[in-house]
């Protein structure tokens, strides 16, 4: 059994080249994001922005005639923290904050815009970056595919 050292060396060089290209692309994306004018907004900054535009108030029966939160469907209790939007709809503070973070930047009832689009996009960009950092394992099978010279027999258990 003879091993052709030149073929082994060639395969090794190809795999190193692919890995270096992958690292270079990731580095270029990282630098591009650092120099970008539009920096992502963290969740803390996003909540602060919500608070500035729609301050938290304490619920009292004079504030709202129907007296329940349309997000969680629970009745308001005297003194609870709520947010009253410009459209005059009122929600529990935590319910509305969760809605604005996870779903839409609109009133859950009338869909009137609560936050500017650019703020929402910057926050979603930050959340996407966070999930990409946490979920980088998803690309592992494809990196292995490239590093193994294109043999896809190992991919079947991942797909």
Which of 38-42, 70-74, 140-144 holds the top average pLDDT? 70-74
pLDDT at 20: 93
| In a shared domain, residues 118 and 52 | yes
Q: Which residues contact 85 (CB under 8 A, 6 or more apart)?
A: 54, 91, 96, 107, 112, 114
Q: Examine the pLDDT at 71 and tell me if it is beyond 80.
A: yes
pLDDT of residue 93 exceeding 60: yes
Q: Does residue 143 lie in a domain region?
A: no
User: Is 90 exceeded by the pLDDT of residue 69?
Assistant: no
Q: 36 or 81, which is more confident?
A: 81
Surface-to-core class of residue 99, CB atoms within 10 Å of its CB (0-12 exposed, 13-18 middle, 19+ buried): buried
Find the mean pLDDT for residues 131-155.
52
pLDDT at 158 over 50: no
Q: Is 147 helix (H, G, I), strand (E, B) or coil?
A: helix
Q: Which of 31-38's residues contact partners 24+ apart within 8 Å by CB, and which partners?
A: 33/129, 38/118, 38/122, 38/125
Same domain, 13 and 32: yes
pLDDT value at 148 more than 70: no
**Whether residue 61 sits in one domain with residue 20:** no
List the CATH number of the domain containing 63: 3.30.40.10
For 18, the domain range is: 1-36
| Cα torsion angle, 102, 108, 110, 113, sign | negative
Q: Which of 58, 69, 67 is nearest to 92 (CA)?
A: 69
pLDDT of residue 64: 59
139 within some domain: no
Give the residue-averaged pLDDT of 93-100.
90
pLDDT top residue among 104 and 7: 7
Q: In whole angstroms, give the CA distance from residue 46 to residue 123.
A: 7
The answer to whether residue 114 sits within a structural domain is yes
Whole-model pTM: value is 0.55
User: pLDDT tens for residues 109-140?
Assistant: 898 988 888 888 887 877 777 666 555 555 55
pLDDT of residue 57 exceeding 80:
yes
Q: What is the model's pLDDT at position 17?
A: 93
Distance CA(68)–CA(3), nearest Å, equals 77
Mean pLDDT (the chain, rounded)? 78
Q: How far is CA 10 from the centre of its chain?
A: 41
């Amino acid at each position: 059994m003879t091993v052709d050292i030149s073929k082994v060396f060639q395969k090794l060089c190809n795999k190193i080249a692919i890995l270096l290209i992958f690292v270079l692309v990731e580095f270029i994306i990282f630098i591009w994001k650092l120099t970008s004018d539009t920096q992502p907004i963290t969740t803390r900054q996003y909540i602060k922005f919500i608070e500035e535009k729609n301050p938290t108030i304490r619920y009292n029966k004079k504030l709202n005639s129907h007296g329940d939160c349309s997000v969680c469907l629970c009745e308001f209790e005297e003194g609870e923290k709520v947010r009253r939007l410009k459209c005059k709809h009122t929600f529990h503070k935590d319910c509305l904050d969760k809605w604005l973070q996870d779903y839409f930047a609109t009133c859950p009832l009338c869909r009137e815009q609560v936050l500017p689009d650019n703020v929402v996009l910057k926050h979603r960009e930050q959340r996407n970056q966070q999930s990409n950092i946490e979920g980088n394992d998803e690309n592992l099978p494809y990196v292995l595919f490239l590093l193994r010279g294109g043999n896809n027999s190992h991919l079947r258990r991942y797909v």
